[in-house]
Chains A and B, each alone.
Chain A
């Protein structure tokens, strides 16, 4: 990235130089085929390990995933031909792998299959991906809906309070047998709002306002609304006991504020506030307190004679996997219990695919995030840049919070592993994120010149 980007970022270039960039749609197609084949291979491996036969649905499953991926690919080819060729195949591979893992866990309790539902949601996700790629011709359109986004996001966040809590968290609504996690959708909307608001008020945030000590504070009029939105979201989520998402929103806010204003002081203030908040919540809220205790002493429940808790079981599963894993279908991660297909899906990956497979998964996420950041660097409009960074950071933070939680790195906060975990809202949301990243990268590469993504 050249220094020129900085001067270009606030002004639209007069005209894009007519450099013919390679579109790389062929690479994308090849990678998609590879992703589908890998998923089908995983599906067959589970069947072979469990029953010694290729599962009867393998062909249909492969065809279904293949058709979905192909539709998405054609949409990209048609309406975003310059897009980065990596995000879509990564989404297909992670989603396919997630379906394999859920199918594999379904075999442990045949009465309660989750894979078919997940496939339906994945279809819905890919459909939404296609719609976004087809309909949203220019991401800057979203800027017009800044306040609609934040309103809808806050409504979505608040609605679950009216519904009964499930497993200690009040984040679901149940409609006609389907349970939806509206907070998942709010992620994208809030990212749009943060990006749009910060892009619009960058100057005021950076330079206006009083100077206190060595910190230049922006005026309350500018900072007020966004801090309010952030506080409301986090406050609501704490009420709903959705720790993961509140952590995610906090992280997203701080990252975007830093990128928009370039002020390290904001990070310091954010961290200070977060530590104070975390200390207060961790002390006062028994649910959170319990999570922290479990994190500090994962085996305390064993010593107390109550048997291993979910985190301990998760650690056992990862440990059993070792470097190469037990092989798909051959682990015992089902011991983790009720959240094994959702929050703890990574433990199954860790046990059956080993450190090698787990690292590969982490690197896939890393690659997706990297492509998001690259699009952000290449784009010229601040909104686009912030949106790309925000969306990529959502993926990164989600992965870190949940993967760190189930491997004992940080206290466990319930959240869905993007694409892998069982959860319709999550799959749909993450496909939307990938769609927006595809759209942003298309724009970035179309601009040419300094906007090329290598």
Chain B
């Protein structure tokens, strides 16, 4: 019997060995795979176990965290959610994160190793640091002015500080309250379904994620290209342009909304926004130089991040002459985000330099220690400083006695350009009203703000024009920035 008891004992040893080996398999060999399984909610639970760090505008948090006492404990809250949604994005337990909440997620959630006091310390303790803070460059007054200005319309505003590239305002209307999506309950799911089904697409960040045909505002690029290349030397010299202008190689005749465009000087043509003059000017300047100038401003750059990605603005370079003519007046395949057009205005305002725009001024630990600060941004020269000087003159003319009079601010130098962009099949859509501008107080050394406004709809087609609809919004934003 003894021998058989020993055999039975050996059997028990085998069972024990099997358990130990299998436990080691699950807990060591397969641990990473199981840990990374999307159905494993541990990461999510850890992430929401502590309050998320805040996003600040002018030193005040526009976000917060609410202790729900639930399994996923802290939920994101938003102050002025719809106003700042194009900046913050949302941080949802159910639907993930977007925009700043997304790009700065590691810092805000506390997972970023740079927050750890010592390297590898968190690996050892399995702990997570308190979420850091993100200070934005947004000017709350400008942001609100843009939002109020657009109110009940559809459109977007982007404003930057030309000398630095700081993004001062980023507004998209209609907007939404990201706080609705914070949780993981029924209300969040309903809000998600409703927002996604909304034909107005409130969650679309029109200021950076959508491109529009820039229409006449693109004439700034065309004029700069022509001046930089020496195609035009004197702003007041007649340009020898017909009205109407027959597109090269076609029988299509391009006309103008304004009068007096035939053979107009560049100054007059710019102020009156003559399509014919700029279409011909673009063709004369040629696709290579047009492309170089557009590229200098930031077109065709798919890598722009502020830190979230900005949609690529396009200037088609595989065009024939008639397409180039249309491209030069901001039609055909030319498309731009509002932020891109704000960069165009900013480049003119800052002597031809293009500063890469950015939205995060500084990130800090929960305690306040700086993690990173916006360093020197890459600077690109889009045009010769002398060209920039003349472009400023042209743009000032638009505000002083052209189509952009509604953007004028007393005691302030303002330059602008209106645009009315056709779109839709056979230009059937309500045209987009554009206005881009910059402003400089007389006592200041350089312009303080460059703005782009696009309005997608207006009460009726006639009212639509950059000067009438978009310029007052731009003025309100500029005033908000310049207010002492």
Binding site for B on A (CB under 8 A): 1, 3, 5-6, 9, 255, 258-260, 262, 299, 302, 307-308, 312, 315-316, 318-323, 326-327, 330, 332, 335, 350, 354-355, 358-359, 362-363, 365-366, 369-370, 373, 376-377, 382, 385, 389, 392-393, 396-397, 399-400, 403-404, 407-409
- Closest B residue by C-beta to A354: B27
Contacts A355-B28, A362-B19, A373-B12; is A326 near B1 (CB within 8 Å)?
no
- B4 in the interface, Cβ–Cβ < 8 Å? yes
> Cα distance A369–B15 when bound, in Å?
12
Contacts A322-B31, A399-B19; is A316 near B40 (CB within 8 Å)?
yes
> Cα distance A400–B28 when bound, in Å?
20
Shortest CB distance A251–B (Å): 9
7 shortest A-B CB distances, which residue pairs?
A319-B34, A400-B15, A319-B31, A302-B39, A355-B27, A396-B12, A409-B22
Interface size class of chain B, counting residues whose CB lies under 8 Å from the partner chain = 35 or more
In the complex, chain B residues whose CB is within 8 Å of the CB of A3? 2
- Closest B residue by C-beta to A365: B16
In the complex, chain B residues whose CB is within 8 Å of the CB of A258? 4, 7-8
* Given pairs A5-B2, A377-B6, A385-B5, 11 additional interface contacts (CB within 8 A): A255-B8, A258-B7, A262-B3, A299-B37, A318-B27, A365-B16, A369-B12, A369-B16, A397-B15, A399-B19, A404-B19
Contacts A262-B1, A377-B2, A400-B19; is A315 near B26 (CB within 8 Å)?
yes
Contacts A318-B23, A407-B23; is A389 near B5 (CB within 8 Å)?
yes
In the complex, chain B residues whose CB is within 8 Å of the CB of A318? 23, 26-27, 34
> Cα distance A294–B418 when bound, in Å?
66
> Cα distance A399–B12 when bound, in Å?
10
Contact B22 A407 (CB under 8 A): yes
In the complex, chain B residues whose CB is within 8 Å of the CB of A316? 34-35, 37, 39-40, 42
- B319 in the interface, Cβ–Cβ < 8 Å? no
> Cα distance A320–B46 when bound, in Å?
12
In the complex, chain A residues whose CB is within 8 Å of the CB of B24? 355
Contact A404 B18 (CB under 8 A): yes
> Cα distance A358–B19 when bound, in Å?
10
- B262 in the interface, Cβ–Cβ < 8 Å? no
Shortest CB distance A249–B (Å): 16
Contact B42 A332 (CB under 8 A): yes
Shortest CB distance B216–A (Å): 51
Residue pairs across A and B with Cβ atoms less than 8 A apart, 19 shown, are A259-B1, A262-B1, A308-B37, A316-B40, A318-B26, A322-B27, A322-B31, A332-B41, A355-B28, A359-B20, A366-B12, A370-B9, A373-B8, A392-B12, A396-B12, A396-B16, A404-B19, A407-B22, A408-B22
In the complex, chain A residues whose CB is within 8 Å of the CB of B483? none
Q: Is the interface of B mostly helix, strand, loop or mixed?
A: helix
Shortest CB distance B21–A (Å): 9
Contact B39 A312 (CB under 8 A): yes
Contacts A327-B126, A335-B41, A362-B16; is A6 near B27 (CB within 8 Å)?
no
Shortest CB distance B480–A (Å): 47
Contact B39 A299 (CB under 8 A): yes
B20, B28, B42: which contacts A323 (Cβ < 8 A)? B28
In the complex, chain B residues whose CB is within 8 Å of the CB of A321? 27
- Closest B residue by C-beta to A108: B71
Contact B15 A350 (CB under 8 A): no
Shortest CB distance B127–A (Å): 9
Contact A262 B16 (CB under 8 A): no
Shortest CB distance A104–B (Å): 16
Binding site for A on B (CB under 8 A): 1-9, 11-13, 15-16, 18-20, 22-24, 26-28, 30-35, 37, 39-42, 45, 126
> Cα distance A126–B23 when bound, in Å?
31
Shortest CB distance B68–A (Å): 15
Contact B2 A322 (CB under 8 A): no
In the complex, chain B residues whose CB is within 8 Å of the CB of A5? 2
In the complex, chain B residues whose CB is within 8 Å of the CB of A403? 19, 23
Shortest CB distance A151–B (Å): 27
In the complex, chain A residues whose CB is within 8 Å of the CB of B4? 258-259, 262
Contact B1 A260 (CB under 8 A): yes
> Cα distance A8–B31 when bound, in Å?
52
Contact A350 B23 (CB under 8 A): yes
In the complex, chain A residues whose CB is within 8 Å of the CB of B1? 6, 9, 259-260, 262, 382, 385
> Cα distance A318–B42 when bound, in Å?
12
B5, B11, B26: which contacts A408 (Cβ < 8 A)? B26
Contact A332 B8 (CB under 8 A): no
In the complex, chain B residues whose CB is within 8 Å of the CB of A382? 1
Contact B126 A6 (CB under 8 A): no
In the complex, chain A residues whose CB is within 8 Å of the CB of B15? 396-397, 399-400
> Cα distance A399–B126 when bound, in Å?
30
Contact A319 B8 (CB under 8 A): no
Contact B12 A319 (CB under 8 A): no
Contact A259 B16 (CB under 8 A): no
- Closest A residue by C-beta to B16: A366
> Cα distance A319–B6 when bound, in Å?
34
Contact B12 A407 (CB under 8 A): no
Contact A323 B11 (CB under 8 A): no
Shortest CB distance A439–B (Å): 18
In the complex, chain A residues whose CB is within 8 Å of the CB of B33? 319
In the complex, chain A residues whose CB is within 8 Å of the CB of B7? 258-259
Of residues A1, A259, A404, A408, which shows the largest number of chain B Cβ atoms within 10 Å of its Cβ? A259
> Cα distance A121–B427 when bound, in Å?
82
Shortest CB distance A15–B (Å): 22
> Cα distance A135–B402 when bound, in Å?
111
Shortest CB distance A204–B (Å): 15
Contact B19 A319 (CB under 8 A): no
Contact A315 B34 (CB under 8 A): yes
Contact A320 B8 (CB under 8 A): no
Contact B39 A400 (CB under 8 A): no
Shortest CB distance A3–B (Å): 8
In the complex, chain A residues whose CB is within 8 Å of the CB of B16? 362-363, 365-366, 369, 396, 400
A307, A323, A397: which contacts B27 (Cβ < 8 A)? A323
Shortest CB distance B167–A (Å): 40
A9, A262, A359, A396: which contacts B23 (Cβ < 8 A)? A359
- Closest B residue by C-beta to A260: B1
Shortest CB distance A57–B (Å): 23
In the complex, chain A residues whose CB is within 8 Å of the CB of B5? 259, 373, 376-377, 385, 389
Contact B39 A308 (CB under 8 A): yes
In the complex, chain B residues whose CB is within 8 Å of the CB of A385? 1, 5
> Cα distance A400–B20 when bound, in Å?
10
Shortest CB distance A354–B (Å): 7
- Closest B residue by C-beta to A308: B39
Contacts A259-B5, A376-B5, A377-B5; is A355 near B39 (CB within 8 Å)?
no
> Cα distance A377–B1 when bound, in Å?
9
> Cα distance A321–B18 when bound, in Å?
19
In the complex, chain B residues whose CB is within 8 Å of the CB of A323? 27-28
Contact B35 A320 (CB under 8 A): yes
> Cα distance A294–B298 when bound, in Å?
56
In the complex, chain B residues whose CB is within 8 Å of the CB of A409? 18-19, 22
Contacts A259-B4, A373-B5; is A320 near B42 (CB within 8 Å)?
yes
